[in-house]
């Protein structure tokens, strides 16, 4: 294949709607089954005007991340509303590709459980792991998305992008860290939220609540009313640890409330809640991963009180065990969990883990990373971010890390993208802050959090700084070290430098 040859490409001008300005849309498949969309504000020749650069364009590219197992093209209104080029990829597969018969085998390309919440695209019908699909999902599709966005930008406007950004949360956040770790020279800035990084440890760790409950409480499980009561009791017990009585635990790592103190729980139920909050440990009692934070509903990782999240079940079956019919209930126990966890760790270490702290290329390129993490995420527990943040500090030191990575932990927020009405600053506000930092050197020190659930305002300082007073617009107290208890609560026995 010649260097710029692609499998297919189409382009068209899309008319304006009340929400989205007119733009040029390019859809292409550069290789294999990687679908990419690039949208470009109209150039001079197509009648665009009003941008600071060429036509309606402001000179920036926003590469937008996906969600779950993706397999679709995400909405790209957001960059267009800002006058920015946008791009997205389906990460190398979609339902149609999974269902297509492969002429070489006479079988479908992959398992039918393939889509936003189905990880079957990495497994062929004979149980063979499709390593090319793993590579496309983890790294190659996002790299291709970005390089094509930059190439098409230059072609369409006749000039290079002034700045190139990655924006994503959840899987999109994982993609952002992957790009920072492996292709940091391509980008000027990253806006990364609650990422699905640690892809060889976090998905298997999220099976823990269901395994514990199945073993201790059987098919009946743990009634949601009981886990809700336990979480409410924990919030009551730990609320004022952070100095503000607002029904919110601002630092969940400091809450060690014991489930045995919850009224109405049987001893077995209390033990199950204890283990779910604590997270999995190895046979020697060393931490393997963190649990669901106290005050966070179990309903995502323990649906109905006795099941496993389908997004985690599909990972166990298709990614780890390579057996579409694998039944976790009849195999996984708290005793054999450490072996399963270590097998997952080894299987995808390096190739799919997205947990390297080597950000040399980002630093060389003077790139900036704005990182936001909700501490009540019920799907991607915040432990993975605590752990990665701590490992960055261990590698670069607190002050050096903060010169290019700033992290903001938002309490009382779950697995939700920032919106205008939610309890984190709006996406546009976060991105404006990143662009100000990247383009003018003014680093964000804090954000005001309008917690619409608890009906309170907080100042969220760049970690590990803390607000000097309660409420919005507080000054931040600078800290050059992470408190020892928080650092220790963020590490595992299996961390590597």
Which of 340, 280, 348 minimizes the C-alpha distance to 316? 340
Chain-centre distance of CA 128, in angstroms? 27
- Cβ proximity to Ca ion, 134 vs 249, nearer residue: 249
Which of 233, 215, 230 minimizes the C-alpha distance to 270? 230
Query: Are the CB atoms for 301 and 209 separated by under 8 Å?
Result: yes
Q: How far is the CB of 487 from Ca ion (least distance, A)?
A: 22
CB count in 10 Å sphere of residue 275: 21
First to last CA, the chain: 39
DSSP state letter for 281: B
- Cβ proximity to Ca ion, 139 vs 246, nearer residue: 246
Distance CA 70, CA 65 (A): 9
236-258 in b/e burial notation, b at 16+ Cβ within 10 A? Answer: ebbbeebebebbbbbbbbebebe
Tokens representing residue 380 in the block: 């991607």
Q: How far is the CB of 220 from Ca ion (least distance, A)?
A: 34
- Cβ proximity to Ca ion, 237 vs 324, nearer residue: 237
- Partner residues linked to 459 by β-bridges: 448
Give CA torsion, residues 374, 243, 295, 398, to 10 deg.
Answer: 40
Distance CA 218, CA 51 (A): 61
Query: Are the CB atoms for 412 and 251 separated by under 8 Å?
Result: no
- Cβ proximity to Ca ion, 239 vs 355, nearer residue: 239
Tokens representing residue 176 in the block: 């952002």
CA atoms within 13 A on the CB side of 455: 0
Q: How far is the CB of 455 from Ca ion (least distance, A)?
A: 13
- Cβ proximity to Ca ion, 127 vs 243, nearer residue: 243
Q: How far is the CB of 463 from Ca ion (least distance, A)?
A: 17
- Cβ proximity to Ca ion, 139 vs 242, nearer residue: 242
Tokens representing residue 418 in the block: 């920032």
- Interface contacts to Ca ion, rule CB under 5 A: 239, 242, 244, 246, 248
Q: How far is the CB of 393 from Ca ion (least distance, A)?
A: 25
Q: How far is the CB of 243 from Ca ion (least distance, A)?
A: 7
- Cβ proximity to Ca ion, 248 vs 259, nearer residue: 248
Q: How far is the CB of 406 from Ca ion (least distance, A)?
A: 23
Q: How far is the CB of 72 from Ca ion (least distance, A)?
A: 39
- Cβ proximity to Ca ion, 248 vs 373, nearer residue: 248
- Cβ proximity to Ca ion, 247 vs 303, nearer residue: 247
Neighbouring residues of 111: CB distance < 8 A, sequence distance ≥ 6: 98, 118, 120, 121, 123, 124, 125, 318, 324
- Cβ proximity to Ca ion, 29 vs 244, nearer residue: 244
- Report the length, in residues, of the chain: 497
- Partner residues linked to 374 by β-bridges: 410
- Cβ proximity to Ca ion, 224 vs 247, nearer residue: 247
Distance CA 465, CA 460 (A): 9
- Cβ proximity to Ca ion, 186 vs 248, nearer residue: 248
Which of 71, 78, 38 minimizes the C-alpha distance to 168? 78
Q: How far is the CB of 453 from Ca ion (least distance, A)?
A: 13
Distance CA 457, CA 3 (A): 53
Phi-psi region of 200 (alpha: psi -120 to 50; beta: other; left: phi over 0): alpha
Q: How far is the CB of 426 from Ca ion (least distance, A)?
A: 24
Q: How far is the CB of 451 from Ca ion (least distance, A)?
A: 10
Q: How far is the CB of 244 from Ca ion (least distance, A)?
A: 5
Query: Are the CB atoms for 237 and 261 separated by under 8 Å?
Result: yes
């Amino acid at each position: 294949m010649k260097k710029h040859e692609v499998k297919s490409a189409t382009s068209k001008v899309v008319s304006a709607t009340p929400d989205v300005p007119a733009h040029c849309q390019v859809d292409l498949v550069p290789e294999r089954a990687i679908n990419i969309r690039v949208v470009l504000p109209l150039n001079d020749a197509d009648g665009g005007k009003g941008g600071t650069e060429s036509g309606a364009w402001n000179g920036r590219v926003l590469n937008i991340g996906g969600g779950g197992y993706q397999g679709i093209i995400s909405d790209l209104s957001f960059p267009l509303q800002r006058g920015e080029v946008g791009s997205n990829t389906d990460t190398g597969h979609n339902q149609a590709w999974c269902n297509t018969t492969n002429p070489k085998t006479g079988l479908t390309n992959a398992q039918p459980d393939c889509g936003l919440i189905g990880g079957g695209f990495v497994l062929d019908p004979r149980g063979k792991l499709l390593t090319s699909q793993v590579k496309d999902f983890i790294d190659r599709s996002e790299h291709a998305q970005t390089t094509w966005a930059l190439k098409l930008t230059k072609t369409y406007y006749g000039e290079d992008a002034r700045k190139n950004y990655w924006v994503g949360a959840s899987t999109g956040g994982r993609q952002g860290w992957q790009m920072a770790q492996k292709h940091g020279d391509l980008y000027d800035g990253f806006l990364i939220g609650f990422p699905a990084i640690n892809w060889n440890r976090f998905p298997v760790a999220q099976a823990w609540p269901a395994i514990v409950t199945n073993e201790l409480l059987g098919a009946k499980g743990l009634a949601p009313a009981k886990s809700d009561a336990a979480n409410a009791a924990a919030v009551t017990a730990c609320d004022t640890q952070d100095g503000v009585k607002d029904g919110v635990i601002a630092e969940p790592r400091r809450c060690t409330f014991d489930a045995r103190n919850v009224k109405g729980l049987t001893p077995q139920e209390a033990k199950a809640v204890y283990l779910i909050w604590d997270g999995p440990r190895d046979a020697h009692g060393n931490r393997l991963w963190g649990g669901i934070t106290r005050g966070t509903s179990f309903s995502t990782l323990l649906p109905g009180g006795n099941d496993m999240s389908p997004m985690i079940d599909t990972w166990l079956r298709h990614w780890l065990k390579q057996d579409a019919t694998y039944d976790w209930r009849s195999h996984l126990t708290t005793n054999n969990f450490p072996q399963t966890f270590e097998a997952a760790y080894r299987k995808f270490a390096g190739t799919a883990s997205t947990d390297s702290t080597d950000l040399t290329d980002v630093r060389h390129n003077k790139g900036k990373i704005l990182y936001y993490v909700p501490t009540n995420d019920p799907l991607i527990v915040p432990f993975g971010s605590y752990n990665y943040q701590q490992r960055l500090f261990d590698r670069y030191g607190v002050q050096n890390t903060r010169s290019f990575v700033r992290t903001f932990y938002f309490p009382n927020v779950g697995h939700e993208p920032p919106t205008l009405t939610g309890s984190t600053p709006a996406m546009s506000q976060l991105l404006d802050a990143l662009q100000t930092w990247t383009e003018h050197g003014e680093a964000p020190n804090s954000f005001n959090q309008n917690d619409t659930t608890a009906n309170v305002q907080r100042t969220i300082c760049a970690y590990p700084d803390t607000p000097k007073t309660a409420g919005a617009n507080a000054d931040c107290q600078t800290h050059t070290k992470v408190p020892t208890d928080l650092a220790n609560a963020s590490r595992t026995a299996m961390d590597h430098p």
